[in-house]
Structure 1
Amino acid sequence: MGARASQSPHRAATAMRPSRTPTPRRRRAGVYEGYGRLRGRTSQYIAAPRVPRSRARRRGCRWVACYDRHMESGRSVFMVGFMGAGKSTIGRLLARRLGLCFLETDAMITAREGKPIPEMFAERGEAYFRQCEAEVLDELADKRDHVVATGGGFPCRPGAMERLRALGTVVWLAVDFDAAYERAARGGGRPMLVGRSREAAAALLAVREGYYRRAHLAIDTTHLSSDQVVARLLRRLRERARSGAGRPPARVAAEAGPPHPEA
């Protein structure tokens, strides 16, 4: 009885102690299968932090190991689509999941010219900007293992899409025009919207879709979160890797296009 009484103060003090927070090791234990739940997200891939591909492979990440077969020749992934489709957001997330470098063609041009794109349009015009895009495309030919988010008009020149297809896998992030227009207008800094009515912007999308349809893969992002888009894209890339489609593709006619964008 006395022994039990002597233990009661210790037990009471123990009960009053705040619960221990999980150690970093405990958190890391569920990086791939549980990290999404810790962050309140549903996808096991989207919430995971960037991990080098070699380390991810040792941990048994099937999405990296499978995609390695597609990347054996150092091929990159190129995001194409209309303004407001989410190319930069999705591209950055995808690069982190695959342990690849991420590039934005607009950012490359801005760094070269030392000024923002709206200012370039105002001072030099659209033709000069398109020439800068052509030069950036030449630079991309020397890069390997990248995820690249392109500008809305980047592949919309004769021969540009064919060159992208030869350099890697081209992904068209399709989006409903109304959703894209609202996103682009809300974000600002879109010189192609300056002085253009909503109808003129819709006509521009109709013209550009003829180029976008030459992409290898297409996913409709209209009603999907960024997590959902990247999860579907990873699945499509795995399927493409398994099929051996990572080899340099044959030329595809504009009117043929890829399958209908996956909703």
Structure 2
Amino acid sequence: MSQDTAFDRGNLFLVGPMGAGKTTIGRQLAEVLGKSFKDSDHEIVRRTGARIPLIFEIEGEEGFRRREQDVIDALSAEKNLVLATGGGAVLKPENRAHLSGRGTVFYLFGSIDQLLRRTRRDRNRPLLQTDNPRAKLEALMAERDPLYREVADAVIYTDERSVRSVVKEIVARYRHMEKERQAK
């Protein structure tokens, strides 16, 4: 898909690790830009009627990833959408292709310390239900950071920043990208 088509859809996709703020930032970003907002994990829960830890327990991570791929394919095909993806969405090449081909992708980067602070009490994160969440986050970031960067049009650093500040930066960068595209 051409970059023109990606911009014509008016979609913004947020990728990054769990705890980076994709859902919180995505909601406010959609409001500021007058777009609809969806979260791929929430959509999976809505469609299945089951919480993510239960899906992992019954179907394993691979079963969850298949469901996630179907949801990302469907949602990324919509127009004027801000989509917060799950932390592992970039693992599937098909998801990366849909995201980069159907919209503008922002990677919300957070340090391991920030991610730990934001996720330490959340029991809805099955991959972190381990004796050493820090080691797990470090391993996940080692695997996924290159994939986030591969798919991203821009990297946004979120450490020690307010939601409003991050949203303001994304809006400014997105509008600049739109102007550049229109000038071509």
User: So what's the TM-score if we normalise by structure 2?
Assistant: 0.90
The question of whether the paired residues in 2 share the 8 Å contact of 1:240 and 1:246 is answered with: no
Are positions 1:201 and 2:113 aligned together?
no
Q: Which runs of at least 4 in structure 1 moved beyond 3 Å after TM superposition?
A: 69-72
CA RMSD across the alignment: 2.1
After superposition, give the CA deviation of every residue in 1:146-193 in whole Å (9 maximum; x if it has no partner). Answer: 000000001122232122110000000000111112211233311110
The question of whether the paired residues in 1 share the 8 Å contact of 2:7 and 2:103 is answered with: no
Specify whether residues 212 and 245 from structure 1 end up closer, same or farther in structure 2 by C-alpha distance, changes over 3 A only. Answer: farther
The question of whether the paired residues in 2 share the 8 Å contact of 1:71 and 1:145 is answered with: no
Q: Which residue identity does 1:96 align to in structure 2?
A: E
Q: Which residue identity does 1:136 align to in structure 2?
A: V
Specify whether residues 202 and 243 from structure 1 end up closer, same or farther in structure 2 by C-alpha distance, changes over 3 A only. Answer: same
Specify whether residues 212 and 72 from structure 1 end up closer, same or farther in structure 2 by C-alpha distance, changes over 3 A only. Answer: closer
Tell me which residue corresponds to 1:221: 158
The question of whether the paired residues in 2 share the 8 Å contact of 1:174 and 1:219 is answered with: yes
After superposition, give the CA deviation of every residue in 1:104-158 in whole Å (9 maximum; x if it has no partner). Answer: 0001100111111111111221111000011112212431110000000011222
The question of whether the paired residues in 2 share the 8 Å contact of 1:169 and 1:246 is answered with: no
Specify whether residues 145 and 196 from structure 1 end up closer, same or farther in structure 2 by C-alpha distance, changes over 3 A only. Answer: farther
- Distance (whole Å) between structure 1 residues aligned to residue 126 and residue 89 of structure 2: 14
- Distance (whole Å) between structure 2 residues aligned to residue 143 and residue 232 of structure 1: 24
Tell me which residue corresponds to 2:91: 156
Q: Return the offset for 1:75.
A: 3.0
Tell me which residue corresponds to 2:49: 114
Larger RCO of the pair (alpha carbons < 8 Å, separation 6+): 2
The question of whether the paired residues in 1 share the 8 Å contact of 2:123 and 2:129 is answered with: no
- Distance (whole Å) between structure 2 residues aligned to residue 72 and residue 110 of structure 1: 29
Tell me which residue corresponds to 1:189: 124
- Distance (whole Å) between structure 2 residues aligned to residue 95 and residue 167 of structure 1: 17
Q: Structure 2: where are the runs of 5+ without partners?
A: none
- Distance (whole Å) between structure 1 residues aligned to residue 131 and residue 91 of structure 2: 19
SS in 1 for 2:89: coil
- Distance (whole Å) between structure 2 residues aligned to residue 142 and residue 203 of structure 1: 31
SS in 2 for 1:125: helix
Are positions 1:89 and 2:24 aligned together?
yes
The question of whether the paired residues in 1 share the 8 Å contact of 2:11 and 2:104 is answered with: yes
SS in 2 for 1:83: coil
User: So what's the TM-score if we normalise by structure 1?
Assistant: 0.64
Are positions 1:231 and 2:173 aligned together?
no
- Distance (whole Å) between structure 2 residues aligned to residue 233 and residue 131 of structure 1: 30
Give identity over the alignment, percent. Answer: 36
SS in 1 for 2:90: coil
Specify whether residues 164 and 86 from structure 1 end up closer, same or farther in structure 2 by C-alpha distance, changes over 3 A only. Answer: same
- Distance (whole Å) between structure 2 residues aligned to residue 179 and residue 246 of structure 1: 38
Q: Return the offset for 1:72.
A: 6.5
Q: 1:210 aligns with which of 146, 149, 171?
A: 146
Q: 1:99 aligns with which of 16, 19, 34?
A: 34
- Distance (whole Å) between structure 1 residues aligned to residue 146 and residue 131 of structure 2: 20
- Distance (whole Å) between structure 2 residues aligned to residue 154 and residue 194 of structure 1: 19
Aligned length, in residue pairs: 179
